[in-house]
Amino acid sequence: MVPVIGGTGMPCEVCRQVHRDLSRVLGTSAPDDWMSVTAGERLEAELTPDVCIMPFRGETRHFIRGHIQLPVTLPEPDVFVWSVWVEVDEASMAAIAHTWSDPNRAASAPLSGRLATELPYEQPTRGLQITIYTRDPGMTPLLMISPSSHHQLADEQREGIALHRVAEFAELVQR
């Protein structure tokens, strides 16, 4: 996947600026709560680009990284990706670990979890109900926001966004 969305070189219908070379993928390298674990807990924790397991107040929490794909509909079809973390229960993490290198893992049943990354939306995104679809080995799992969440993120995943919104995301995450 190309790391930028280039645009058409035509002025945007919303802001009249020309959007080019916008980041196709934005996100975080760890779950938000990674910042809250103590130095001692962090010694016991594991953080890779795809998985995070961390002690937290006497319990063990499990996270995986996934992609929320938002279809870009205007001015031409494309896709924007939020690279985020999802908290799953221990049984789900065991299932993910069990099939991680399985060439047929994309056939695994979907799992559920809770979004563990705050994204720049008016309503909170942490805690949103997520369905996790594993893909072929080497591919980041795809995440679907529950449509019953009545959240702008769910609407955008279902209905798509314009390139102008991708430009807004780039500004919002810089704040």
Residues at the interface with Zn ion (CB under 5 A): 12, 14-15, 164
We find the least distance from the C-beta atom of residue 15 to Zn ion, in angstroms, to be 3
* DSSP collapsed to 3 states, 52-84: EEEEECCEEEEEEEEEEEEEEEECCCEEEEEEE
Positive or negative, the CA dihedral 119, 143, 85, 130 is: positive
CA dist 30 and 47 (Å) reads: 7
Least distance from Zn ion to the Cβ atom of residue 74, Å: 10
Q: Which is nearer to Zn ion, 12 or 173 (CB)?
A: 12
Nearer to Zn ion, 11 or 127 (CB): 11
Give me the least distance between CB of 24 and Zn ion, in Å please: 16
Considering beta carbons, is residue 96 or 163 the nearer one to Zn ion? Answer: 163
Q: Which helix (H) or strand (E) holds 88?
A: strand 78-88
CB of 12 to Zn ion, least distance (A): 3
DSSP letter assigned to residue 8: -
- Residue number, nearest CB to Zn ion: 12
DSSP states of 16-33? -PPP-SEESEEE-SS-GG
**For residues 14 and 51, which CB has a smaller minimum distance to Zn ion in the complex?**
14
By beta-carbon proximity to Zn ion, the closer residue of 9 and 40 is 9
Smallest separation, CB 161 to Zn ion (Å)? 11
Question: How many C-beta atoms surround the C-beta of residue 82 within 10 A?
Answer: 24
